[in-house]
Amino acid sequence: MKTALTTATAIALASATCLAADIKLPEPNRTGGKPLNEALAARQTNRDFSTAPLTDQELSDLLWAANGFNRPEVKKRTAPTAVNRQEVDLYVCRAEGAYLWDGEANVLKQVTDKDLRGFTGRMGSPENFALVAPVALVYVVDYARQGMQERPQDAFKYASVDCGFIGQNVYLHCASAGLHTVFLGMINPKELSAALGLPATRVPLFGQTVGHAK
Ligand SMILES: Cc1cc2nc3c(=O)[nH]c(=O)nc-3n(C[C@H](O)[C@H](O)[C@H](O)COP(=O)(O)O)c2cc1C
């Protein structure tokens, strides 16, 4: 037992050493943007992207709008969740790797240095827009944190709608910031789970491509 623990610790330390590429994002802009009705009027799906990366500021603003803490004193966020379980984690997949967003610290924690964007969008197509756009968000539901496993239909229902609220926040932020985006049911949860090292209780449910216009 002692040996196994020691080995596991060593692996964790080794991978932490290899992937010490966490990114501390700048403070997000919590004011400004288009008036709500103008953002609603502009909200739409766009699949034509340029390869231009998002700046750290653009990413920080996007993630805060998506699911950031808008009431940090009570640890509540821009998107609601059923029973306030806050069970959705955002992963940010870019060409240089995939990151788990820690919304409290506003840090992107690198999970892998692999490009996982191809497990979203038009998978297997050389014209997959997800490989052009710089960012593929992946919405991972933690069913253990949600705590509704004894009622699987409710668990799936609430997890899906909770992802949908985040997706709409992203749509409205993109409409306001002049970015393009497309919400995605088309993701490969099996490949994403393996590449992100997720346990069976944490499931990628949706994705969302974000980038600049072509
Ligand atoms: C739950 C859901 C899943 C979707 N999945 C995909 C998808 O896998 N691929 C895609 O290209 N668009 C996807 N979309 C985007 C829809 O095709 C798009 O919202 C729809 O055509 C309406 O266009 P609009 O968003 O501009 O109003 C999805 C949208 C929703 C709400």
205 CA from centroid of ligand 1 (Å) = 14
Kindly give the distance from the C-alpha atom of residue 74 to the centroid of ligand 1, in angstroms, as a whole number: 33
Q: Which residues does 64 contact at the CB level (< 8 Å), separation at least 6?
A: 28, 29, 30, 78, 103, 106
Residue whose CA is at the smallest distance from ligand 1 atom 30? 183
Q: Give distance in angstroms: CA of 174 to centre of ligand 1.
A: 15
Nearest Cα neighbor of 65 from 101, 99, 115 is 101
User: Which of the four pLDDT bands, split at 50, 70 and 90, describes residue 3?
Assistant: very low
> Which residue's alpha carbon is at the smallest distance from atom 6 of ligand 1?
184
Q: Which residues line ligand 1 (CB under 6 A)?
A: 44-45, 182-186
Nearest protein CA to atom 10 of ligand 1, as residue: 184
How far apart are the C-alpha atoms of 68 and 158, rounded to whole Å? 19
Q: 72, exposed or middle or buried, with CB in 10 Å at 0-12, 13-18, 19+? A: exposed
Nearest ligand 1 atom, CA 167: 31
Q: How far apart are the first and last CA of the chain?
A: 55
- Reply yes or no on whether the pLDDT at 1 is more than 70: no
pLDDT of residue 44: 98
Is residue 68's pLDDT more than 60?
A: yes
For residue 120, the CA-to-ligand 1 centroid distance in Å is: 13
Phi, psi (deg, nearest 5) at residue 98: -120, 145
Q: Kindly give, in sequence order, each residue whose CB lies less than 8 Å from that of residue 139, ignoring residues fewer than 6 positions away.
A: 88, 89, 90, 163, 166, 167, 204, 205, 206, 207, 208
How do residues 181-193 score in pLDDT, each as one tens digit?
Answer: 999 999 999 999 9
Predicted local distance difference test score (pLDDT) of residue 8: 39
Kindly give the distance from the C-alpha atom of residue 44 to the centroid of ligand 1, in angstroms, as a whole number.
Answer: 9
Res 114: pLDDT: 98
Q: How far apart are CA 174 and CA 62, in angstroms?
A: 8
Residue bearing the CA closest to ligand 1, atom 27: 44
